[in-house]
Each structure stands twice: as C-alpha cells, then as structure tokens.
Amino acid sequence: MNIIKCAHKVCTILMETSRPIYIWVLLLGIFIFPINIGAQELVLPKDSIITINLDEVILISARKTLDYHRQPKPLSTLDEYLESSKKVDMVKRGAYAWEPTLNNMFSERLSVTIDGMRIFGACTDKMDPVTSYVDVSNLSRAHIASGQQGTEHGNTIGGAINLELDRGNFKETGLYGGVETGFESNNQMSVVGAEFNYSDSNFYVDTDIIYRKAENYVAGGDEEVEFSQFEKYNVSANGGYKLAEDRAFTASLIYDEARDVGYPALTMDVSLARAIIASVGFEQDALWGSLTNWKSKMYFNKVTHVMDDTKRPDVPIHMDMPGWSDTYGFYSQAALKAKRHQFLFKLDGYYNKSLAEMTMYPNDPNELPMFMLTWPDVRTANGGVYAEDELDLNGSLLKLATRLTVQNQNVADEFGLNSLKIFYPEMEKSKTRFLKSISGQWHKMWMPWHFNAGLSYGDRAPSVTEGYGFYLFNSFDNHDYIGDPGLDNEKSMEANTKISWEKSKFKLSAEANFFHIADYIIGEIDPSLSVMTIGAEGVKIYRNLDYTNLFNTSLDMEYAILPELKWSGLISYHRGTDNNGGNLPFISPFSYRSGFQFDNRSFSAALRITGAGKQVNYNPDFGEDQTQAYTVCSLTFGKTFKFNNDSMYAKFGVENIFDEYYSTYTDWKNIPRMGRNFFLTLSYSIN
Amino acid sequence: MKTIKLILVTFVAALGLSSCSSDGDDTPKIDVNPMAEFNLVTNIEANGHSLELYSEGKTGFTTGYNELYVRIKNNADDTYFANPEITWMPVMHMMSINHSCPISELAISNDYNTVTKGYVIFQMPGNADEYWDITFTYEVEGQEYSVTETIDVTAPSDGKQTVSAFMGSDDVRYILAMVEPTDPEVAVNDMQAMLFKMENMMSFPSVENYSVTLDPRMPGMGNHSSPNNEDLTYDAATKSYKGKLSLTMTGYWKLNLKLLNSTGEVLKGEDITEEIEASSLYFELEF
C-alpha cells in the first residue's frame, strides 16, 4: 500500500517539475525530502491527502530544504510564487497585492488561509487579498487544492490556498540564520531579509524580517507605469515548546505593514495596509487512545486598510476609504487510523467583523462631507465540522470528505442597516445559512498509467461585499455594486479527472475539471438605479444567475534529455459560460509555458517561455476587451558557493528578455506588465 | 426622589407628551415646566402678561416651517393661564405692500392645558428695510387682549431652502414647505410637506389632493439619485403631503420636486434629465 502511495507521490513530483517559468512547483514527497520527513512527522505529519487529491504544493522556503536551485527567483514576492502554480492566475491591479484566482474563480469563491487560519481582507475594492499580508519569509509552502478538495479549512467553490508557516518543528538544527538581499532593475526594487532561528528537540523559535521597496515599474518599450510603487515590511516570530514528549505548545505572530502602495489600474492608492496575525496552538500525539495527531489552534487577526487618493491628479472628488477586518477563530483536529480507513476530523469556527466606510469631500468647501458605510459592520459567525476518510480499496484509493457549516451574518451597525434598507426595506438584521460540501476522489494506478477522478458538491454563502456591499465601485466594468442580503447560496457540482503516463524519461499528464455552478453570484445592471461614483456607467446588483459552467483543462509534459537537462511544457484551455451561453468574465484564453532546465547541484540555468493566445471569449459587459496574444522569455542562472560551513547562493536572471509590451486577461484595465527586468539575489546562510 | 420624578416627567414630555391628558382640567398649576426641553424663541411682554414662544429645535424664527408652542404667563403671580384662546397673524411689511403667510390655528396641545401649539410658514426672511411682525389676540379670564411684536425672521443657518413660494402654471401663487425630515438620516426617511395657495395677501388656505413628485439628487456627486423614493400624496388627517425620501449618504441633497394638481397637470417643476440638472421647484437639505 505504502509503495503505491510513494510511487504516486514521486510521479506527481516529477510531473510537477514540468512547471516552467520562474519557480518550481512540486509535491513534497518522502523520496525527495527524506531529511525532513523523519523530523516533521513528530508534530506535522505529511498530508496524506496529497496522495489522492490533485493538489499542488508550491515550495516557498528553500532554506530549510537547502534547495535553492528549485527557486528561479528566491526573493520574489509571494504573488510571483503563486503565479507559478498551474491552476492559479493572479489578478493584477498594480505591482503589489495581486489577487489569486483558482480555476478562474476569485477570492469570494476561494478559501484562502494562513496555516488554517481564516483571514479576510479589509478593502472593499479587493486591494488587499489575504496573500498580501504575509511574505515569503514567513512561509514554507503554499498548498493549493482545487474545488471541493479544498474544504478542509472552509467552504469554497473554486478551491483553497493554504499558506503554511515556516517553522523549526523540533528538528535538531540548533542555531542558524541567514541574510538575503535582492535587487531588480526594472522597478529598482530592493529586498533585504534576515532570519534567525533556533531549534532543538524540545524547543524552537523562528524569527524573520523582510523589507521591500520598489519604485514605479516600466512596461515594455520604456513606458513607465505611474503609481506602481510600493513599500512593505514584515516581521514574524513563531515558536514551539514541548510540554512532554508527546505534547507541544506553539505560538506565532506576524506583523505586516505596507505603505505608499500604488495601484495604477485603480483610481486610488493605499497609504496603509496592516495586518497583525497571531495564534497559539496545542499539539498532542494521541487523544482518547485511538485518535492521533491532535492539533488545536486559537487565533486572531486584525487587518487595517486605508485608501488614499491625495497623490492622484484630477480626481473628481477626494475621498477617504478606510476598512477594518478582525477575525477570531479556532480549530481542533485529530486523525484516526482504522484498518483500511484513515480519518481526519476537524472542528472549526471563526467570528469576523468587517467594517468599511467612505467619506467624500465635496469640491465646494462649504458643503459638508458625504459619508456612507460601504461594509455595514457585518459580523460573521461561522462554525463547521469537517471529516474525511481515505479508504484503501485494494489497489485503488478513495477519499471521501464532507463539511457542514452553519453561518450567521448580522449587520451590527444601525446606520449601515438603514442604508441597506433603502434597497431592501424588508431585510432582516441577521441571516443564518447552512453550508455543506461532499466530495469523493478516486485514484487508480496501472503502471505506467495513473487515473484520478472525482465528483463533488458544495456551496458557499455570499461574501460581505456580495451580501452587504454599498455602492462599491468596480473600476474594471465601471459600475457601482450593491449587495443583496437575500442572495441564495451558490452551489457547485464538480467533476474532475486526470490521467497520466510516465516512463523513465518522458512524462505526460492530461487533466480536466468541470464546474456546474447553480445560483452563480454575479453583478447585474439595474437600469433604474443612479450611479454614485462620478463617471460610473451604471449600478449593478449582485444576483443569482441560474447557472454557469466552467471548464478547465491542461496538458503537461516533461522530457529528460540528459539527467541534468530537462524540457517541460504545459498548455491549458479554459471556458466559462452563463446559462444563456454568454461568456463569463476573467476566463483565461489558451495559454502555454515551456522551458529548459539545467541543474547539476552547484550550478543551474533555465530558459523559459510563457504566453497566451488571443482572447477569443470575453465579455464587454464586464469591462473586458480582447486581450492580445503574447510570448515572453526569461533566462536565469544560479550558483552555490561554499565557505566552510556557510554557503552563499547567487541567482541572476533576466525576465521579459525582448522587452515585450503586453498585458494578460487578468490585468485590471489592461495595465501592462513589467518590461525587461534584471534581477540578482544573494542568500547567505550561517549554519 | 424629586429629581427622578422631574427627569421622568420631562422625559415623558420630550417623548411627545403622550401619557397624561388634562382635558377639562382648569387647574393651571403644574409642578414641572412642560417647556423645559424647548427653546424659548421670544418672550413678548404686554398687558401684564408674558407670551412665551417656544420651538423644539430652533432658536429663532427661520424661513420655512416653524412649529411653535405658545403659552401666556400672568406676570402677577407667575402662573400660566389654562386653556387660553389665542389667534395670531404674522405680517410681512414690504416696501410697498404687506402680506401674511400660511399659519395654523393655535390649539391646546394634548398634554398640557397651558400650552398651545401651531405653526407658521415664513416664505421669506426679513431684511434691513422689510420686516415681519406678529399680532397675537388672546382671551384670558374673559377679557380680550392684543399685542403686536416685530420679529426677526432669518434664513436657516445652513442657508438651505425648505420653502418655496412660486406662481403655478395655473396663475395661482403657491407656497410649498417641508415639514419632515427635520433630522434626516442615511435611510428611508418619512417626508412631509405642506401646500398652500395665496388666496389674497392675508389668506393662505391649504391645498388638498394635489401631489408632489420627488427626485432627490446630490449635485456634488454628479447628480446621484437614490432609489425607492415615494412621491408625496395628500394625507387628509394631517392636511399635508406625505412620501418617502431615501438618502444614500450624508451631505448636501437637492430634493427636486414637481407639483401636480388633482388632474395630474404639472403646475411647477421639471423632470431631471441629462440636460436639466435641477428642477425650478426644490428643497435642500444637508446633514
């Protein structure tokens, strides 16, 4: 049995190494990282889920695995790491805080967590996705699960991204540290980072700090993209203490602050985006005899987000738009092994307060400021149970998972409630919803073939914006949006399959998933409403569309020309339509990646090409226009130098070699991407 | 104990004086001052009496709707006359002409038999050369008295228009005044207005069964409007026009109006379009 699992892991890993471009994506498997596994099993057992799910794990912290070669750009932003995923595309509104999409679905359809902790952005305009409040220095890896396979930490439609914190985990590594620095020529971004860690079998503490500052970047053809600067720093500490051989206490704290962040695609910038993310946990090997790996965590996080338009010339009206999002939560989980079954049970809950306001200052100084609550202090209380069973069916594996959640949303602010009652006179202050998810995932192997298939059903509650947003301006389609507290839950029926074939030198896999989403939540124009934002074209109200269909498919190849030299390629196709056959917005056109990778442990080099075809299916009603085809190339070199015990790793590269001027379908209002960029990073580690 | 009682009673009074009824009770003395929570707008001394004029929110007379409470004190013993019969007549003394304005009767308010209540709608402020006075004729203890006092009528401090005097397309002069909301909120507000026609210089009877359409706008926000407003229709019980006013945010709002007679003919005002950004008939508010 174990052999089958291991073999599966290995082949998945090898398939994943076909990820070209920038960074390596791989499944952490026991063969590739034998050093880790013994130590980590103590309190952080490897996710057995990976064996069946079509998950992707992006390795972020190379330091602990001494595997810099797999990172084409070690100090790149977390956004760039995520973008290297096969399923993730990043929506760009500027150079900072990109919004991850999975299976062509946005934040509200995803569950994005940090070590299982729920956290919600405080910006009504999605300028602060959760991923913007951590940095690569905090993380060991990002776990990406597609569709209902991602419900472990919360209800989702499109999938889940869980960012795992980097921690010492009671390994006998002693004191060690490192400094890193990086520079990018295009936007003169400088990055400085340092970490200092200690770990032994009873105690560990990890600390790190990172600072980034970037000026405006320059698109292809020397066109400066104004208001694309940013500055951020992040400090984190986490530690663990073993109370006894079989139990440990853990704690973590992250402080992340960005200032002076430009959003060239939007009408406003950000003067402050700040998050404090804290948790305490308790872990015990066994519980009540048969349960194992009992892990519990209590956490809170506080997000503050302040938009700013004072640096913009010619704004029709100046406004302040601060937002706050506080979340308190917990989870507790334990595993159970019984013959052919491998269960995981999880109980979780959170309480979130989302409040955002807007004050507009009239051009006539004698007039009073105009004030509204754009998020009316919505209090979301959510509690759920999750259970999964991985079942060994003699030669094939079946994973069944389910989540049941009850969620209550309450509009705590009287002013906000009265505002919404303008639109919904009958609306109740409080609304309770029941959410459910059930999924089955099956894996069968006939060497050299692997076959995966899954079927699932899941639903989600409307987000705060969709349920309670009040005149939120979307600059992409140039409409004000108003939420509807009476929306039905969005329900997804999903099927996925993957078939792969591998011989020693050649690997090939084809994958597809299909979502039929009933009561799909999307903005519809209400022509009777009058715009609030000056210059907006109209007002949209969130409505349940009868249904939409989303289809994603990809073909992944890898060929080892020499043991050190590999070629890999990926092509993908996506389609999204509504119940009238109309196109959904933000659906990727045909896209491709291809690359050569050379790696002999001390020296590495990679040449990569990414591109997309012309966008054929787009929807002008949502502000889309046809995105043109593009191809960009990058070239990187890496070298490790040894000094006694210490080591230094240098990476040099050039991205967008031919300085192509281009934008992709996820670029907000077609802001162009970065032009030619040289980067150099140096990592020095002291052992 | 006494303080508590006082607080309690004033609280009840502030709530709208709904708990006690003193119909037919001629006892003038009361322990508490029913006007304690109100602003004394003016005090007219005459005939050994003091006519005290109170307002709930205002500190003076302003153009538009003024709800006033009037009581008469006997200066001799500092008591207030019960059930006084008072009539009033405000007059504007213009350069060449005098005229009055819409008023209600002064009637005993339900709660205290010493306090009468009514309203005056001043359609214009006074100025250096033109002024308002107000004549009270009242009967107490079987004797009739009269007093005329010059008063200062100003535009509201925020300068916002809450009354409009205009000539309708039927060649009748009308006065339309906003009564509610006095304290607007970001919500659906109850809106109330009163309509009078100028029968002659001194007579302004209220007009029944017309209607007033409502289109609130924010000129500072590209003429943003709000949804779910309800046009004002005649309410016979209050002899006023009632509707619903939605305000989506704080700030300056222009309430564009159109006056229609009972057969639906437009007497004043225009629809708001791309070209016509404001109606000639409007109220303003800012909060």
* DSSP string over A182-248: EEETTTTEEEEEEEEEEE-SSEEEEEEEEEEEE---EETTTEE-TT--EEEEEEEEEEEEEEETTEE
| A628 DSSP assignment | P
Task: Dump strand ranges (E) for A362-502.
Answer: 370-392, 396-411, 430-446, 449-460, 472-474, 479-482, 490-502
Does the pLDDT of residue B89 top 80, yes or no? yes
Which tokens in the block code for residue A224? 């400066």
Residue of A nearest to B246 (CA): A422
B271 contact A CB<8A:
no
pLDDT at B111: 76
Q: How far is CA A2 from the centre of its chain?
A: 31
Residue of B nearest to A372 (CA): B249
pLDDT in tens, A96-106: 999 999 999 99
Domains parsed from chain B with CATH numbers: 23-154 (2.60.40.1940), 163-286 (2.60.40.10)
pLDDT at A645: 79
Q: What is the mean pLDDT of residues A314-318?
A: 87
Q: Which residues of B touch A532 (CB under 8 A)?
A: 221, 224, 248-249
pLDDT at B26: 52
Q: Between the CA of residue A505 and those of A481, A513, A603, what are the distances in Å? A: 52, 27, 22
Quickly state the pLDDT bin for A11 (edges 50, 70, 90).
very low
pLDDT in tens, A542-572: 999 999 999 999 999 999 999 899 999 999 9
pLDDT at A112: 94
Quickly state the pLDDT bin for A60 (edges 50, 70, 90).
confident
Give A 423-452 residues with CB within 8 A of chain B. 423, 425
Which tokens in the block code for residue A444? 């069968």
Dihedrals φ, ψ of A69, to 5°?
A: -65, -25
Q: Tell me the nearest-neighbour CA distance from A544 into chain B, angstroms.
A: 21
Which tokens in the block code for residue B234? 């005649």
B248 contact A CB<8A:
yes
pLDDT at A68: 57
Angle at B181 between CA B179 and CA B183, to 5 degrees: 125
Angle at A212 between CA A207 and CA A213, to 5 degrees: 155
Half-sphere exposure of B142 (CA within 13 A, CB side): 0
pLDDT at A193: 92
Distance between the two ends of chain A, CA-based, in angstroms? 38
Residue of A nearest to B186 (CA): A419
CA dist., res. B268 & res. B259, Å (int): 5
Angle at A314 between CA A312 and CA A320, to 5 degrees: 55
The DSSP line for A33-56 is: -HHHHHHHTTTS---GGGGTS--E
Give A 341-370 residues with CB within 8 A of chain B. 358, 360, 362-364, 367-370
Count of helix runs (H) and strand runs (E) in chain A: 5, 33
CA dist., res. B242 & res. B212, Å (int): 9
Under an 8 A CB cutoff, do A370 and B249 touch? Answer: yes
Under an 8 A CB cutoff, do B250 and A368 touch? Answer: yes
B24 contact A CB<8A:
no
Q: Which residues of B touch A415 (CB under 8 A)?
A: 185-186
pLDDT in tens, A411-428: 999 999 999 999 999 999
Give percent of chain A with pLDDT exceeding 70.
91
How high does pLDDT run on average in chain B?
A: 86
Q: How many CB atoms lie within 10 A of CB A393?
A: 11
Interface residue of A318, A361, A366, A370 to substitute, partner B, most B CBs within 10 Å: A370
Q: Which residue has the higher pLDDT, B59 or A162?
A: A162
Report chain A's C-alpha Rg in angstroms.
24
pLDDT in tens, A141-164: 889 999 999 999 999 999 999 999
Dihedrals φ, ψ of A567, to 5°?
A: -115, 140
Quickly state the pLDDT bin for B189 (edges 50, 70, 90).
very high
- Of the candidates A93, A18, A34, the one whose C-alpha atom is nearest the C-alpha of residue A265 is A93
Which ipTM value was assigned to this complex? Answer: 0.81
pLDDT in tens, A476-487: 999 999 999 999
Dihedrals φ, ψ of A201, to 5°?
A: -75, -15
CA dist., res. A110 & res. A87, Å (int): 12
Under an 8 A CB cutoff, do B251 and A370 touch? Answer: yes
Q: How many CB atoms lie within 10 A of CB A47?
A: 18
Considering only A81-95, A363-377, A399-413, which range has the smallest mean pLDDT?
A: A81-95
pLDDT in tens, B2-29: 455 545 444 444 444 444 444 444 555 4
Does the pLDDT of residue A653 top 80, yes or no? yes
CA dist., res. A665 & res. A682, Å (int): 33
pLDDT at A75: 80
Q: Which residues of A touch B252 (CB under 8 A)?
A: 362, 367-368, 370
Quickly state the pLDDT bin for A314 (edges 50, 70, 90).
confident
Q: What is the mean pLDDT of residues A306-323?
A: 91
Interface residue of B183, B185, B186 to substitute, partner A, most A CBs within 10 Å: B186
Domains parsed from chain A with CATH numbers: 2-686 (2.40.170.20)
Angular region, A644: left φ>0, alpha ψ -120 to 50, beta rest: left
pLDDT in tens, A218-251: 999 999 999 999 999 999 999 999 998 899 999 9
pLDDT at A71: 66
Q: Tell me the nearest-neighbour CA distance from A527 into chain B, angstroms.
A: 11
In A420-454, which positions are buried (b, 16+ CB within 10 angstroms) versus exposed (e)?
A: bbbbeeebeeebebebbbebbbbbebeeeebebeb
Quickly state the pLDDT bin for A19 (edges 50, 70, 90).
very low
A641 contact B CB<8A:
no
Interface residue of A377, A530, A531 to substitute, partner B, most B CBs within 10 Å: A530
Report chain B's C-alpha Rg in angstroms.
20
Give percent of chain B with pLDDT exceeding 90.
58
The DSSP line for A62-95 is: -GGGT-GGG-SSTTS-HHHHHHTSSSEEEEBSSS
